[in-house]
């Protein structure tokens, strides 16, 4: 990877779920090394859709995607992309599927090729950093909404991705837990961060630029934060 390559690059992306209504039309977007960007836009503007496109979970009808300097067109390319870019889903229930919390968190590291002991250790460290070590042996789908949210963040951080895509990570968290999450993410050494949040507090704490999705397209938000 050349140093100046952007972390994520979208060129002229078109996407629609059904043929009538386009969600994204001709979207161009670039996340540079070191960038910490907030992604705004009303409900249904297509923010979550954009995240899923970046990781190849859905396929655009036109345009190209490059992640970490590698052009992504086939599934193998996205497998590579997903090792570097971590996505926290909007709904934590989508993300958790293992019988115990610690296993869910260790699942990503194991897939990256870590040995069981290392993966377990990393899972435990991550849980500890998020202050939820006590949930270690609980069953994920029987946790409270806020606890699930923290575990789903842990599952992503445990893979130590270079880029974080956070889809409303503080929704449903009480103030003190949200603050702790913000601290953990601030101190996490990532190369780039893309954050969707309807809470101006967390946006200003974590990002220094803002883009807005509206009318199927993305533009820099002029009334930017700070």
Partner 1 sequence: MTCEAFASGSSFLHKADPRVKVLCAFFYSLVVACLTIMPAQLASLLISLLLLASARMPLAIVVKRIALINIFVMALWLVIPFSTPGRVLFHAGPLEASVQGIYTSLAITLKCNAIVMANMALLSTSSMFLLAHSLAHLRVPSKLVQLFFFTWRYLHVLEDEHRRMMQAIKIRGFIPRTDILTYRTYAYLVGLLFVRAYERGDRVYKAMLCRGFNGTFWLLHHFHLHGRDVAFGLGMGGIIMALAGIEWSYLIR
Ligand X SMILES: Nc1ncnc2c1ncn2[C@@H]1O[C@H](COP(=O)(O)OP(=O)(O)OP(=O)(O)O)[C@@H](O)[C@H]1O
Q: Which residues here bind Mg ion, judged by CB under 5 A?
A: 48, 90
The reply on whether position 73 binds partner 1 by CB under 8 A is: no
Q: Which does 150 bind (CB under 5 to 8 A by kind): Mg ion, partner 1, ligand X, none?
A: none
Among residues 13, 27, 35, 55, which is the contact residue for partner 1, using CB under 8 A? 55
Q: Considering beta carbons, is residue 128 or 137 the nearer one to partner 1? A: 137
The reply on whether position 192 binds partner 1 by CB under 8 A is: no
* Min separation Cβ 61 and partner 1, Å: 19
Among residues 13, 23, 53, 87, which is the contact residue for partner 1, using CB under 8 A? 87
Return the DSSP state at 225: -
Burial 34-67 (b: 16+ CB within 10 A, else e): ebbbbbbbeeebbbbbbbbbbbbeeebeebebbb
Q: Considering beta carbons, is residue 15 or 107 the nearer one to partner 1? A: 107
Any idea of the CA torsion for 46, 173, 57, 155, to the nearest 10 degrees?
160
- Alpha-carbon torsion (161, 123, 97, 47), positive or negative: negative
Q: Which does 25 bind (CB under 5 to 8 A by kind): partner 1, ligand X, Mg ion, none?
A: none
Q: What angle do CA 178, 182, 184 make, to 5 degrees?
A: 115
The reply on whether position 198 binds partner 1 by CB under 8 A is: no
| Helix or strand holding residue 75 (H, E) | helix 75-84
The span of 37-45, 108-116, 128-136, 176-184 binding partner 1 (CB under 8 A) equals: 108-116
Q: Considering beta carbons, is residue 62 or 139 the nearer one to partner 1? A: 139
Q: Which does 43 bind (CB under 5 to 8 A by kind): partner 1, ligand X, Mg ion, none?
A: ligand X
- Alpha-carbon torsion (99, 103, 109, 111), positive or negative: negative
The reply on whether position 1 binds partner 1 by CB under 8 A is: no
Q: Which does 46 bind (CB under 5 to 8 A by kind): ligand X, Mg ion, partner 1, none?
A: ligand X
Q: Considering beta carbons, is residue 95 or 126 the nearer one to ligand X? A: 95
Q: What whole-number distance in Å separates Cα of residue 192 and Cα of residue 214? A: 23
From 133, 197, 198, 141, select the one nearest 164 (Cα to Cα): 197
Residue corresponding to tokens 């503007």: 45
From 84, 63, 73, select the one nearest 8 (Cα to Cα): 84
Site residues, ligand X (CB under 6 A): 17, 23, 41, 43-49, 90
Q: Which does 200 bind (CB under 5 to 8 A by kind): partner 1, ligand X, Mg ion, none?
A: none
């Amino acid at each position: 990877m050349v140093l100046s390559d952007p972390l994520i690059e979208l060129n002229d992306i078109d996407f629609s779920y059904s043929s009538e209504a386009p969600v994204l039309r001709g979207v161009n977007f670039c996340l540079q090394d070191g960038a910490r960007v907030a992604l705004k836009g009303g409900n249904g503007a297509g923010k979550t859709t954009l995240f899923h496109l970046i990781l190849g979970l859905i396929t655009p009808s036109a345009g190209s995607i490059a992640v970490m300097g590698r052009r992504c067109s086939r599934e193998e390319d996205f497998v590579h992309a997903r090792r570097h870019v971590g996505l926290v889903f909007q709904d934590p229930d989508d993300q958790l599927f293992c019988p115990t919390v610690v296993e869910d968190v260790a699942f990503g590291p194991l897939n990256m090729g870590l040995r069981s002991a290392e993966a377990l250790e990393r899972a435990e460290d991550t849980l500890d950093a998020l202050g939820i070590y006590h949930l270690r042996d609980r069953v994920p789908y029987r946790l409270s909404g806020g606890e699930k949210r923290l575990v789903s963040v842990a599952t992503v951080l445990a893979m130590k991705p270079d880029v974080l895509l956070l889809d409303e990570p503080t929704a449903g968290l009480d103030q003190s837990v949200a603050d702790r999450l913000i601290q953990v993410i601030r101190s996490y050494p990532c190369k780039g961060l893309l954050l969707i949040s309807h809470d101006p507090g967390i946006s200003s704490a974590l990002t220094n630029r803002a883009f807005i999705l509206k009318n199927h397209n993305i533009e820099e938000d002029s009334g930017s934060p700070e």
